[in-house]
Structure 1
Amino acid sequence: MKHAADKKNLKICLVGSSGGHLTHLYMLKPFWKDKNRFWVTFDKEDAKSLLEGEKMYPCYYPTNRSIKALIKNTAIAWKILCKEKPDLIISSGAAVAVPFFYLGKMMGAKLIYIEVFDRIDKPTMTGKMVYPIVDKFIVQWDEQKKVYPKAINLGSIF
């Protein structure tokens, strides 16, 4: 990341599926509220309602185990990341995070992944896919450190 003096100017991409993943990211508001930010999520009513007034880009869904969705979201990620050039990408899943993380890494962004709260002793597919490339991998349970040894347990977001 840039110098500490640049933290206010930090540009953040918050990317995740709508529903619980988006709720997790939204609960980080004390961190992102005074930062330059944009969101990438599903174009669904819950997301539009929660993110009213926020800069939001829609991504393709459904994503679960779909090569078609991965290809479409990789193209979307390329366009958005080239335009926005974030310094930091944060996600709590799910699959839409993968192309944003891999392309973001290639473009020099720092990556923070937060493993979901309800997966205690097994990795998520997205977690497994991004774990090797992230700068920080956050878990919410000590038990998750057995699955992700390099992770940092910051406790529950809830």
Structure 2
Amino acid sequence: MTFEKADACSLLADEQVTWAYHPTTRNIPNLLRNLWLALRLVPRYRPDVIVSSGAGVAVPFFLLGKLLRRRTVYLEVYDRIDSGTLTGRLCYPIADLFLLQWEEQRARYPKGTVVGQLL
């Protein structure tokens, strides 16, 4: 599950992909579309863990994942060092594991685990 953008299309050309709707931040129609995708895909694939690297599409998948007792792992984005993202703030309370790339991100997410920069 990712956004249909040039880099994703080229990197995932030989993979099975479902394209999410974007933009996601503060876009209620796309939130509902992505919730519909979550309602279709999570029961079909039955993942043990739902992982997000910071896209707004994480919110409906995390909510459904929690309802279905799936573990959730969130990685806060690299470029938000001293402030949290909207998606991070929404997923923080429900994530089983909340990963940070900078020690400074602990100011916003004190229960986060610093794993260092992933480039």
User: So what's the TM-score if we normalise by structure 2?
Assistant: 0.95
Whole-angstrom distance in 2 between the partners of 1:116 and 1:45: 20
Higher relative contact order by CA 8 Å / sep ≥ 6: 1 or 2?
1
Over aligned residues, Cα RMSD in angstroms? 1.0
One-letter code of the match for 2:32?
A: I
Q: Give ranges in structure 2 of 5+ residues lacking alignment.
A: none
Q: Give ranges in structure 1 of 5+ residues lacking alignment.
A: 1-39
One-letter code of the match for 1:139?
A: L
Tell me by how many angstroms 1:61 deviates: 1.7
Task: Identify which of 50, 74, 77 aligns with 2:11.
Answer: 50
Tell me by how many angstroms 1:54 deviates: 1.7
One-letter code of the match for 1:123?
A: G
After TM superposition, the structure 1 = structure 2 runs for residues 87-102 of structure 1, keeping only pairs within 5 Å, are: 87-102=48-63
Q: Does 2:24 match 1:60?
A: no
Task: Identify which of 51, 54, 73 aligns with 1:112.
Answer: 73
Tell me by how many angstroms 1:105 deviates: 1.2
- 1:133 aligned counterpart, secondary structure: coil
User: So what's the TM-score if we normalise by structure 1?
Assistant: 0.72
Tell me by how many angstroms 1:86 deviates: 0.5
Tell me by how many angstroms 1:128 deviates: 0.3
Number of the residue aligned with 1:4: none
Number of the residue aligned with 1:156: 117
Q: How many residues align?
A: 119
